[in-house]
Every structure is written in C-alpha cells, then in structure tokens.
C-alpha cells in the first residue's frame, strides 16, 4: 500500500467539507510548508488543497524534501504559517530535530507545527506531544482529505490569533514609546511634529503615505471649531486648511461623540477630564485592519491627554514670560525708560544662548529669566536712578547695589526661572577681565547666563535712547563691542553677535520702544 492510498483515503463521514471561500487576488496567501521525503506526499497534498482558502486568503504551498532543506527555507522565510513535518526523513528523527531547531535556534514561536508519520513506532505519540513544542501529531493512516483540511483550518486560525496578539503587543509597545516622546515635548510645535512621526510609525507608513490631523473642538459650541495641531498629506501642512470631506467626517464624529472606523480611514474622539474634545483623523490608500483601529483608538486618547498637558505647560510658560516682562518693565518705568528693553534683552539672550550651543531648555530658561536682570533697581532711590548726568562716587556705590539687591529678592524662590533670574541679576555686571561688580568674578567663573545677559543688555542700552544719552549709531555700537571683546565681554559671545548682526537688528526692530 502506498502513502497516497491511506493519506487521503475515503472518509465515510456524512459531513462534507465546506465549499472553498472565494479568493480575492490582492490578499496575501497563507504560506504552508510541506516537509516530506516522499514526492508523492507533496503531489497529493497539492491536489487536495487546490482551491483551499481561509478568511478569503488562498494557501501557497512550499515544499522541502528533508529537514536540512526545510531549515534553510525557514531561515529565509519567516512568515510561514504552518509546517506539516514528516518525522522520518534523512534520519529516523529528522522531523523531531527540525521541530527543536525551529523553536530553539530560529526562535519562531508563531509557526504552527503539525507532525505526521507513517512509522509511529519510531516516535510514540504521547512522548512526542509531551516533549516537543508541536501543535498536532497525526499518523498518516488517520489523515484523509477532509481531515487534512480541518487540520489546516484549525492551524491557520491559531496562527492568525497568535499574529494578532503579537501585533497588538508590538503596537502597544509603540504607543508606550510614543507616550514617552509626547511627555518630552517642550512646545506645541514639537508636539505636532511628534504626532505625525508617531502616527506614521504606528502604522508602519512613511509620512507621504499618511494623512493625519489632530483637532480640538469647543464643547460649548454647537458647531465644531477646529484647531489644527498637526497635518500632513496634500497641501494641508502648508495652508492649514482641511479638505471638505475630512471636515464632514470630523463634524460627524464630533456630533456622535464617539470614534468612527471606516475601511480606509479612522476618526478618533476623546474628551479629557477638563472637557477638552479631541479628534484625530488618519487615512491611507489601503484598508485598515482591526488591529490598526484598536491602536489608533489608544493613540488618540494619548494625544488628547498629552495635548492638554502641553497646553497647560505652554500656559504656565507664557504666564512666567509675561510676569518676567511685567516685573522688568516696571523697573524700567521707574528708570523713565520707554518700554521694550526687557523684551529685546530676552530675545537677544535667547539667540546668543542658542548660538553658543546651550540646550533648547537652558536657552529658554535664560530667555524667561533675563528680563529680571535689573529687578534690584526697585530699591534704588529715584534721584539716583533717574539722574541725567554722571553719578558721584557715593551715588555710584548706591547704584551698584542693585545687582546684589536683585539677587536677594529672587534667590530664595524655589522656582527655577526665578533662581536663574537671581544669578543673572547678581552677575550681569561682572566683567570677563575681572574688573566688574559686585564680586569681581573673572572669565568662566561668571555664569554663562550672566555673561550672555551682560552682552545683550549693553548692546541694547547702547543702541537705544536713554534719559542720560541719545542712541548710538550701530557702527559705533559694534566697534565698542569689538573693543571690549575679552575685556568686558566673553570673546566667544562677541564673535557670535558680530557674525550675526542682522539677526540681532531684526530683533531690535521687532520690539521698538513705545514713546509716551
């Protein structure tokens, strides 16, 4: 009796196999590897499984005639769903050895392994199932055409479920990673860029293959008011205008107050604890599967919470900035100055810090703190502070006290911006050559924030009109800075300013003094 006589023998069961499902050509096939040293087994298996499909996907049969050949094939193709393995091939235990190698060496836990043998005495069923990581074990005499198909349905269903679980696991890992990246964002601009990058990464797409928009709506309004946080695809990133069909879908979801899943798009809806409504629209040129929808739903929730936190952080930062400006300008008003000096100093300092190589965080901190550089002048008497002429020695001693007074006012605060302001107030009149005040610090003993603000302050003071002097022409200002390089000022900072004069002049022009 040949293998083919009993492998697919007559099945007396009245139950007939279901008709093959219609196969859509664009669906990727399930790969099934037949491993047997008997060529007739391959031929009959191919004949029986002709037209077989599962979940509208056909089966692609691959063939190996030894354990070694199968091992090489599995090394190259890691997406094989099922392997039907003969036990006895080039050796009496070649199939068992291959099973061990697949799990231990190739580390392929997803593939479903079905052992079958025509010589059960070589590998007793109980010990094989106990000792080897297989999914089924059949004697060839048991396997009919119907049973083979039933076995394959079960194995493919198991493989599908394992792949879904694995895909969800990887997707959740990506979401966790994206959450960390959102928490590290320092601005809405950086956050918007992160949305596009993480959405693309989540679906395994390139930026140009995905159209993504996150938006917020005001729950107090009956009509949706969109605030576009991030967008890519078409010309949206440039003109910040959404296509009409996207607006319609977002409006529909906003009215339903729940996420919606289309075949090739997803609209996520999430409301934060503060009542902020968020919408995320993602589409691509192929169908989303259920895993995509689940991941995008979690992703939308993360975006909503992160966006709310970023907005709150921006609000706090803006409040700190405005407070610094208000305090700084209050002091300038006492000095009878005309207004925008502290804003110019803040922006000069920020540019110097960036070009010096400080981190974005440290540069921003200096920007927020530098308007407080002269806060100690609040304690200087008006007749000295606003004297139009030169101070006498006694008046000058009093005037110089503003540096230490400013430090004393700010240094007790636990707020890091005010702590930075204390350092700046204390050290922005120190000189690179050590001839400054109040402590005569020299070179890099002066904090970089103090050195930066010192240059920004003098640059603006010289180029602006004051109660005791007219504004200097810009060539004279630049010549003074060049002459004081390595004396009053950090030489590297002077080089930065002189090499980028146009950028500093642009800042000056953006914040003109408002004359009374």
How far is Cα 425 from Cα 407, in angstroms, rounded to an integer?
A: 6
Residues of the chain with CATH 3.30.450.40: 184-311
CATH 3.40.50.2300 corresponds to the domain 3-165? yes
What percentage of the chain has pLDDT greater than the value 90? Answer: 38
Structure tokens at 486: 């390595």
The per-residue pLDDT for 2 is 43
Give the residues across from 85 on adjacent strands.
35, 115
**Bridge pairing between strands 30-35 and 57-64:** parallel
Structural element, H or E, at residue 298: helix 290-334
Give the separation between CA 225 and CA 254, rounded to whole angstroms.
10
Q: What is residue 493's DSSP assignment?
A: H
Map residue 466 onto helix, strand or coil. Answer: strand
- Angstrom CA distances, 326 to 330, 334, 340, 394, 493, stand at 6, 12, 11, 30, 27
Produce one character per residue of 428-452: b if its CB has 16 or more CB atoms within 10 Å, e if not.
bbbbbeeebbbeebeeeebbbbbbb
The pLDDT of residue 177 is: 63
Query: What residues does 477 pair with on adjacent strands?
Result: none
Domain with CATH 3.40.50.2300 in the chain: 3-165
Range(s) for CATH 1.10.3210.10 in the chain?
335-510
Which CATH superfamily hosts domain 184-311? GAF domain (3.30.450.40)
What percent helix, strand, coil does the chain show, rounded to 5? Answer: 55, 10, 35
In contact, 123 and 138? CB cutoff 8 Å: no
Edge-first strand order for the sheet with 260-261 is 230-232, 211-217, 277-283, 265-271, 260-261
Segments of the chain scoring below 50 in pLDDT: 1-6, 8, 10, 13-26, 207-209, 217-219, 234-238
Residue 443 and residue 434 in contact, taking contact as beta carbons nearer than 8 Å: yes
Burial of 8: CB neighbours in 10 Å, binned 0-12, 13-18, 19+: buried
Distance CA 135, CA 109 (A): 11
pLDDT at 186: 63
Q: Give the side-chain half-sphere CA count within 13 A for 159.
A: 25
Residue 40's H or E segment, with its range, is: helix 39-48
**Local structure of residue 12 (DSSP, 8 states):** -
* pTM as predicted: 0.49
| Greatest C-alpha distance within the chain | 122
Backbone conformation region of residue 140, classed left if phi is above 0, alpha if psi is from -120 to 50, else beta: alpha
The catalytic residue among 377, 390, 442, 485 is: 377
Asked about 469 being catalytic, the answer comes back as: no
End-to-end alpha carbon distance in the chain: 111
3.30.365.10, 1.10.3210.10, 1.20.1250.20, 3.60.15.10: CATH of 335-510: 1.10.3210.10
């Amino acid at each position: 009796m040949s293998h083919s006589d009993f492998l697919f023998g007559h099945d007396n069961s009245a139950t007939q196999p279901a008709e093959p499902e219609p196969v859509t050509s664009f669906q990727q096939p399930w790969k099934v590897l037949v491993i047997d040293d008997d060529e007739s087994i391959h031929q009959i298996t191919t004949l029986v499984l002709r037209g077989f499909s599962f979940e509208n996907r056909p089966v692609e049969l691959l063939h190996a005639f030894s354990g070694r050949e199968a091992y090489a094939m599995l090394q190259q193709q890691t997406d094989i769903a099922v392997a039907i393995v003969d036990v006895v091939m080039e050796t009496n235990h070649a199939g068992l050895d291959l099973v061990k190698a697949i799990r231990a060496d190739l580390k392929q836990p997803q593939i479903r392994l079905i052992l079958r043998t025509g010589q059960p005495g070589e590998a007793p069923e109980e010990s094989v199932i106990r000792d080897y990581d297989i999914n089924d074990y059949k004697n060839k005499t048991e396997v009919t055409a119907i049973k083979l198909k039933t076995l394959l349905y079960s194995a493919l269903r198991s493989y599908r479920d394992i792949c879904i679980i694995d895909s969800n696991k990887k997707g959740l890992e990506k979401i966790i990673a994206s959450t960390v990246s959102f928490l590290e964002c320092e601005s809405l601009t950086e956050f918007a860029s992160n949305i596009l990058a993480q959405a693309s990464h989540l679906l395994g797409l390139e930026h140009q293959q995905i159209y993504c928009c996150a938006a917020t709506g005001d729950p107090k309004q009956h009509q949706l008011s969109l605030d576009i946080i991030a967008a890519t695809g078409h010309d949206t990133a440039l003109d910040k205008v959404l296509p009409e069909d996207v607006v319609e879908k977002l409006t529909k979801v906003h009215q339903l107050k729940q996420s919606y899943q289309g075949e090739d798009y997803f609209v996520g809806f999430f409301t934060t604890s503060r009542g902020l409504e968020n919408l995320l629209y993602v589409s691509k040129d192929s169908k989303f599967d259920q895993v995509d929808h689940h991941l995008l739903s979690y992703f939308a929730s993360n975006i909503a919470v992160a966006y709310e936190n970023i907005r709150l952080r921006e609000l706090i930062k803006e409040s700190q900035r405005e407070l610094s400006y208000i305090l700084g300008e209050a002091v300038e008003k006492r000095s009878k100055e005309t207004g925008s000096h502290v804003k110019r100093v803040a922006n000069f300092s920020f540019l110097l810090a960036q070009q010096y190589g400080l981190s974005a965080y440290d540069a921003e901190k200096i920007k927020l703190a530098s308007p407080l550089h002269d806060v100690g002048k609040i304690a200087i008497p008006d007749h000295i502070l606003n004297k139009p002429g030169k101070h006498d020695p006694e008046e000058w001693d009093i005037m110089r006290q503003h540096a230490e007074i400013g430090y004393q006012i700010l240094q007790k605060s636990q707020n890091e911006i005010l702590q930075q302001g204390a350092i700046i107030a204390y050290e922005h009149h120190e000189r690179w050559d050590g001839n400054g005040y109040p402590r005569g610090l020299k070179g890099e003993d002066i904090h970089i924030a103090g050195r930066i603000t010192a240059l920004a302050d003098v640059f603006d003071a010289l180029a602006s009109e004051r109660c005791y002097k007219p504004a200097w022409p810009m060539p004279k200002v630049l010549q003074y800075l060049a002459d004081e390089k390595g004396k009053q000022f950090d030489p590297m900072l002077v080089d930065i300013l002189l090499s980028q004069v146009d950028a500093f002049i642009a800042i000056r022009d953006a914040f003109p003094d408002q004359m009374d």
